[in-house]
Amino acid sequence: MKPFVIFFAAIFLLTIYSCKKKGIDVDYSVLEVHDDVNLQKIIFLNDNVGYTCGGNKSENGVIYKTTDAGATWQKQYSNNTLCVYDIKFVNDTIGYACGENMLLLKTIDGGNHWITQSPNQPLQGYEGTLHSIFCFDANIVYVAGGKNYQTGLTYKTYNGGAEWIYNTFDTEFRSVWFTSKLTGYYAGYGAMMQTTDSATNFHPLTINGDFYVSLYFTDSQTAFACGYNGGIYKTTDGGNSWNNQLSNNNSIVSSRHFNNIQFENGNKGYAVGSNGLIIFTDSGTDWNQIKKIDDSNLFSVCVRGSKIYISSEGGKIYRLNR
């Protein structure tokens, strides 16, 4: 191919990519907890009641609750040193949260009081971070985490936190999801694991290498995963095989880093990441980018009907309407 043809082809592709990168406009509003903290996770139990948690690493940790769809937030928990990374509720009253240095919390009154759990540590003085919680019911809860990318840790309880059983691994985990009492999935640094006996034994799944930070199952066979290295992956056979919907970062694709993925149903979902990255799919196959609201790091997304809540830096929550 002649040099001038290559040049104009490159300009054409660059123009298309630049236009696409601008993204789709959406209507949004900004909600605030009025504290300068990173909000690592946001969840809603119904249209009005929601929780968000976070803090600043090795500085503080917080949990907030709203009862008016995010218009106002009340601080329910705080500490001076340990960031809170995830929060899940079984019902209106029973919930769990986790974070830095093995922080594990439970509430039985809708978050008015949080009780510190005391799981056994695999090593004396172990200071791993617990990143993800999955509550199967009020008694059966799974937790995943680790440290320094190469040390993984899982916990499970069958009695509502009275006893916690752990397993250790050679990869750090960032996300856990169970599709039944027996079958569960753990995703993390360069690997994804499956258990079929309720987190007693594990085996690796075949999937391209990425730093998997978030898993979301829409049914027992269909799931999506996103990676900090920029990939989106889908399985329709319970994790036996995975298809790349978005390839991870390379020398051609500009650098993108995902932090969280969530779906409203089998087709409609969202993923968010660093530098204001928001993408969505209405088909479960093709992904489009939403125009940047700002350049903040976006940590988690919660889909609640026509509203999409996204937690961010500086105590901000973005509520998108679609």
Find out whether 230 and 247 touch, Cβ atoms under 8 Å. yes
Q: Which of 246, 245, 241, 243 is nearest to 206 (CA)?
A: 241
Model pLDDT for residues 37-54, shown as the tens digit of each residue: 999 999 999 999 999 999
CA torsion, ordered 5, 11, 14, 19, to nearest 10 deg: -130
Q: What is the pLDDT of residue 120?
A: 84
**Mean pLDDT taken over the chain:** 91
Query: Do the bridges between strand 258-263 and strand 95-99 make them parallel or antiparallel, or are there none, so unpaired?
Result: unpaired
Q: What is the pLDDT of residue 248?
A: 78
Model pLDDT for residues 140-169, shown as the tens digit of each residue: 999 999 999 989 999 999 999 999 999 999
Task: Give me the residues paired with residue 77 across strands.
Answer: 63
Assign 11 to helix, strand or coil. helix
The whole-number average pLDDT for the span 2-12 is 42
Residue 7 has pLDDT above 80, yes or no: no
Residue 9 has pLDDT above 70, yes or no: no
Model pLDDT for residues 61-114, shown as the tens digit of each residue: 999 999 999 999 999 999 999 999 999 999 999 999 999 999 999 999 999 999
The enclosing H or E element of 21 equals helix 3-22
Model pLDDT for residues 257-273, shown as the tens digit of each residue: 999 999 999 999 999 99
